[in-house]
Amino acid sequence: MCVLAWNVSTAESLVVIRGIGVFDLSFATSFRQTMRAEGAAGFCKLFDLSRADIKLSDQDLQTMVASTRLGGIIKSGPIAIYLGKTPPPLLVDMAILMKERIGHRRRLRLFTDETLARQWLAEEGPTVNLPHGIFHFPPRDTTSASLGR
C-alpha cells in the first residue's frame, strides 16, 4: 500500500506532499512535528491530495483548529491543496470543511489546477521562521537582591 509522503526542498522553501493514502489527524500531526523539527514550518506547502482521501472527524477538525490557534505565534507558510482536475465531491466537501474550520488563521487555498496552486504559492512566498530560542528565557535570579529586598 502506498502512503502520503513529503519532500522538503530547502533551496525553494517548498514542501510537496503527495501519494496515495489518507490525510487524517495522525498524518497531519506527524507532518507538523517534522516540519517544525526540520525548520520548514514557514515553507510553502503544496498538498497534492488528488489521489488521497481526507478522513477527519469533527473532533479531529477541532483538534487541528486548536493546534493552529496554539501555534499562532509561530508563523507557518501558506498551504495550497491540489484536489485534482475533477475531484470526487466527498474530497471537495472535506477540503472545504477543513478550510472553513481553520478559517483565516492560515493562508490556505484549494485548487483544481496544480500550476495555479504553484503560482499562488510563489506569490505568497514562505514565512520567515522565528528563531528556535525565542521562547527560552534566561534563568530567573531568585536571590533577595534581585527581588528588590
Domain with residue 67: its CATH number is 3.30.750
pLDDT at 69: 61
The total number of structural domains in the chain stands at 1
Residue 42 resides in a domain: yes
The three three-digit cell numbers of residue 149, written as one number: 529586598
**How far apart are alpha carbons 139 and 12 in whole angstroms?**
38
Residue 140 resides in a domain: no
**How far apart are alpha carbons 47 and 148 in whole angstroms?**
55
Residue 142 resides in a domain: no
pLDDT at 124: 92
pLDDT tens over the chain, length 149 residues: 458 899 999 999 999 999 998 999 999 899 988 998 999 989 999 999 999 988 889 899 888 877 766 655 457 889 999 999 999 999 999 899 888 888 777 789 999 999 999 999 999 999 864 444 333 334 444 444 433 43
**How far apart are alpha carbons 9 and 66 in whole angstroms?**
28
Q: Which domain holds residue 40?
A: 5-135
| Secondary structure string (H, E, C) spanning the chain | CCCCEEEEECCCCEEEEECCEEECHHHHHHHHHHHHHCCCCCCEEEEECCCEEECCCHHHHHHHHHHHHHHHHCCCCCEEEECCCCCCHHHHHHHHHHHHHHHHHCCEEEECCHHHHHHHHHHHCCCCCCCHHHHCCCCCCCCCCCCCC
pLDDT at 146: 38
- φ, ψ for residue 118 (rounded to 5)? -65, -40
Give pTM, 2 decimals.
Answer: 0.79
Residue 146 resides in a domain: no
Residue 145 resides in a domain: no
Residue 113 resides in a domain: yes
pLDDT at 71: 56
